[in-house]
Amino acid sequence: MMKFASYDIVFQEVPGEVTLAVNITGCPNRCPGCHSPHLWADDGIELDKQALTGLLADYGRGVTCVALMGGDATPGEVYELAQWIKQQGYKSAWYSGRDKLPGDCPTGRFDYIKVGPYIEHLGGLKSPTTNQRMYHVAADGTLEDITYKLQTHR
Ligand code: SF4
């Protein structure tokens, strides 16, 4: 069962979108220098369609995108929620901490996908040396690297 610890409205994590970002717990990645070690424990509030409906009701249509931040321990649940998010008329984003996507990832259920663990000396997505990649998913499911849109020093 996927759970979340917190959520926020963010403007920079997904380029051009007003995003409801949901911070999923139970992260299995254990990146050295992790910026969010409180997300390692498998606790929090159950994250399902009902919970997301409640969060979205607070913001109405001011939100354009829902980002699932984490969920690498239960990718099947991420895929299911992403499909539901798109069916509700929102764009869907996934922030994975894995090096690459699972082979069976249905990329077409997402509009944006970020991959890559956090490596402290390389920095996060805003760093020009980052190992992490942000992709826009085209209609045919192919991935376009848009990491440059997040970087402050180009
Ligand atoms: S993926 Fe994110 S939350 Fe998980 S260990 Fe790495 S930096 Fe921490």
CA gap 136, 142 in Å, rounded? 8
Write out the H or E segment, with its range, that includes residue 134.
strand 133-137
Q: Could you give the CA distance from residue 143 to residue 154 in angstroms, rounded to a whole number?
A: 21
Whole-number Å distance, alpha carbon 31 to ligand 1 midpoint, is 5
Q: Say what the pLDDT of residue 151 is.
A: 87
Q: What confidence score (pLDDT) does residue 24 get?
A: 98
Tell me, in angstroms, the distance from the centre of ligand 1 to residue 94's CA. 13
Beta strand pairing call for 3-10 and 45-46: antiparallel
Break the chain into its structural domains and give their ranges: 3-150
pLDDT for the residue 57: 94
Q: What pLDDT score does 94 carry? A: 98
Do residues 69 and 42 lie in contact, with contact meaning Cβ atoms separated by under 8 Å? no
3-state SS assignment for residue 117: coil
Residue 72: both structure tokens together: 């690498």
What is 3-150's CATH topology? TIM Barrel (3.20.20)
Q: Is the CB of 131 under 6 A from ligand 1?
A: no
Q: Does the model's pTM come out above 0.85?
A: yes
